[in-house]
Amino acid sequence: MNFVQTIHIRTKTPEAVAELMRKWDEDQAQADIMGYMGTRLLADRENPDEYLIIADFAMVDPAVSAAEEAMRNNERPETEEWARRLLEVIDGEPVYRHYDEPYRTG
């Protein structure tokens, strides 16, 4: 089963968040994180300055769930550094949510 992490944020500098995400994606590729599929930044159309970061993980090894891989990834020092840097470009605290993906089309 695939796994999705969302991070709800408020920011007046979405470009800075996007740059952090680009660097994060490069780091993930170099670290060869199993199952990492990428991230997206969504802008809330009704609420200016509100955004949602979506990180997708796919199950690659039947013995290890995508959620387990994502949680391992969260424990990396690079991930902790990224979260610290995110706090520098957002307003308030981010809200993290974790979802299993039991069904997907397309």
Rounded to two decimals, the pTM is 0.91
90's tokens: 């957002």
Q: Which domains does the chain possess?
A: 2-101 (3.30.70.100)
Contact (CB, 8 A) for 56 and 74 = no
pLDDT band at 51 (very low <50, low <70, confident <90, very high): very high
Q: What is the pLDDT of residue 96?
A: 97
Q: What is the pLDDT of residue 27?
A: 86
Query: How much is the average pLDDT of 79-100?
Result: 97
pLDDT tens for each residue of 7-38 = 999 999 999 999 999 999 988 877 777 888 99
Question: 50-57 and 95-101: which strand pairing?
Answer: unpaired
Q: What is the pLDDT of residue 47?
A: 98
Average pLDDT for the chain: 93
